[in-house]
Amino acid sequence: MMLSWIIQLDLRFSDYLHRHRFSAHTEQFFKFYTRLGDGYIWLLIFLYLLWTRGVAEMFSGISGILWQALASTGVSLALYWLIKLKVKRKRPFAVIESVEAGVPPLDLYSFPSGHTMNNLAAGFTVFYCVPSVGWIILLMALSWGFLRIYFGVHWLSDVVGGFILGFFSFLIAHFIWVQLIPWFR
C-alpha cells in the first residue's frame, strides 16, 4: 500500500516537471550546474576551505575536515552500491515513454540518488565542521538532486532516499571517526 502511494507520487511529480519546462537557455545552465554534482565542485570547496581554514584544520586531528568528509563519502558509497544493486529500480526515462534523459546518468539504476546521497554525506560533514560554508553545500546538493528529477534520471523518492541515506552515512562515519581518532593520537 505504502509503496503504491510512493510510486504514484513519483509519477505525478515527474509528470508535472516534464510538462512545465524552463527555457532552453535556463536548461543549459541547469545542465552545467547539475554536472557540478558529479564531484567537480569538491576541488573548489576543498581549495576554499584550505585557504580560509588552513592546512592544520583541513588535515589534522579530529577536526580534519578532509578526512572526515572522505570517511562520510566512503560510507555513503558503500551503502549506495549495496542498496542500488539490490533494489535495481529503473530510471524515469526508462519507464515513461515521453521522458528523455536530459543529462547522462552515471549508472544504470535509479534508487537512491547518488548525487544527493554522496554529496550530502560530505556536505553534512562540512556543515558540522564549518556551518558558515556547509549550509551552502547542503543546498547545492539538494538542488542537484531535484535537477536530476527535472532531467528525467531520478524519481522524487530517489532524492528523498538519497537525502536520508546521505545523512545516515554522515552519522555512521562521524560516530566511527569520533571513536577511532583517540586511538591514533
Residue 21 lies in a domain: no
Using DSSP's 3-state secondary structure scheme, residue 123 falls into: helix
The 10s digit of each residue's pLDDT in 30-75 is: 999 988 878 777 777 777 767 776 666 555 544 567 778 888 999 9
Domain span at 87: 34-184
Residue 163 lies in a domain: yes
Q: Is the peptide bond before 112 cis (omega within 30 degrees of 0)?
A: yes
Q: Which of 78, 80, 86 is nearest to 114 (CA)?
A: 80
The 10s digit of each residue's pLDDT in 105-121 is: 888 898 999 889 999 99
Structural domains counted in the chain: 1
* Identity of the residue numbered 72: S
Residue 154 lies in a domain: yes
Residue 44 lies in a domain: yes
Residue 16 lies in a domain: no
pTM of structure: 0.82
Residue 20 lies in a domain: no
Q: Which of 81, 80, 82, 102 is nearest to 91 (CA)?
A: 102
